[in-house]
Chain A
Amino acid sequence: MANLRDIRRRIKSVKNTAQITKAMQMVAAAKMRKAQQAALAGHPYSQVLDRVLVSLRDHVSEGAHPLLESRPVKKSLVLLVTTDKGLCGALNTNILREAATLDHESTVFVASGKKGASFLARTGRNMIADFALPDSPTFLQTKAISKFCLEKFLSGEVDSVSVLYPKFVNTLTQKPLLVPMLPISSEAAQGKGEHVEGGAQYLFEPDADGVLDAVLPYYFHFSVFQMILDARASEQSARMVAMKSATDNAKGLVKDLTLEYNKARQAAITTELLEITTAQMALA
């Protein structure tokens, strides 16, 4: 039978832990809502961007734009989006398992998030850059990352660019997803919307190709921004779920320990009573 004082000490420490995990759960829940709202706030932008792409469809000349040109892939670049902090369940493990399956030789990595960066360093992968981002990144901050990738692609150092990030499916599920971004597929470059018959015939200034030149990088920057926001929402929801189960476990543990504590206390009292009675009987 465990010592009474030891059990009491353990109960106290487990309760403390539960308090911390509970607090983390609440914080993660609030941050998750914020991250989801941030992702939704980009909706008007994506609509206008799409409208621009759709209206450009008929006006651009056939010659392939450098961002649309697909080359035989000798080197590919993967932007690995992970979290900076742990305690978010299997989120990073799943992403990194996916990253480990990528070809060692022909893949170069750009990391965003400390967990990914330290994984790449540990396994000796070819990491060419590591970007740090705050909890709620702004477009200009993520643009620095996407611009870096874009330039590697345009200079011919890499022949394809993809993003590996935890896609937010719902609060309970996050799926690691490898999304090819560059070269931009021609379907994506044409926009998702239906072409409006007899719609506005735009005048382009300086010309349609010039506008396309400027729009396509934005399409890429914006997609990367959205994916990073999505990864943030995933991180927070994974953390919330992990912390909730940790809190539940701690509560279960406290319950078991309290039971054990009471049993031990009962046993101690019984022993004491027995001793007193025995002593009395001996005196009588």
Chain B
Amino acid sequence: MIRVENISKSFAGTPVLRNLSFDVPDGRITALLGANGAGKTSCLRIICGLLKADSGRVLVGDADPALDPMGARRQLGVVGDREGLYERLTVREYLEIFARMQGLGGTALAEALAAVREELELAALWDRRTKGFSQGERMKVSLARALVHRPQHLILDEPTRGLDVLAVRLLRKTLLRLRAAGTTILFSSHVMPEVAELSDRVLVMAAGQVVGAGTPEQLAAETGCSTLEDSFVALAYGQRASAARVEGEPA
């Protein structure tokens, strides 16, 4: 479970996150939905410990990434936005190195590697250097890296960007399987249909705040709209100008 409590963050005097709070329950897929510039990436980076919040607190499981970054990172798997691979390494080398960094070794390592290879259909790519991989192949490798040590929490920043249908389906399949295993999944996106399709729960972000939370159906009901898109527009840009503090639902 990830808890975000009252975090604020500004860059060079421009506030990006304003007193942001939400919970991400275990065994659920939570989407962070927001327009570009809503603060999604900053929020995720604060959770990963890459950024420090100006105020407020984050808990990843029982670890605050600001105070115990190592503790938090051990429980995290992260797939960043548009991230790069190491082009001179093969997939196997790449995954093995990251698995080892996470403390895996011996048979546990071999098993973990075999598992992600299977799970993400990497067999054909396994001993190829990652240079020249397609977006979908890169996504698979990145996801494998984030999963190889079986983190309790998985964070994905715009994971569907640039993916073809097959890749999206694989991603969805994987996330659903992880959810079944009880993994806490938080991903950001600005693409409504995907959010609607993938997530159990949506957090609508606008101007550094969560302006709505719930299942797509709940949001629609709350805004009186028929689609998630309409609900999002209503929540993010419109009618509810006052910043409502939305309690995360208990897991």
A binds B: no
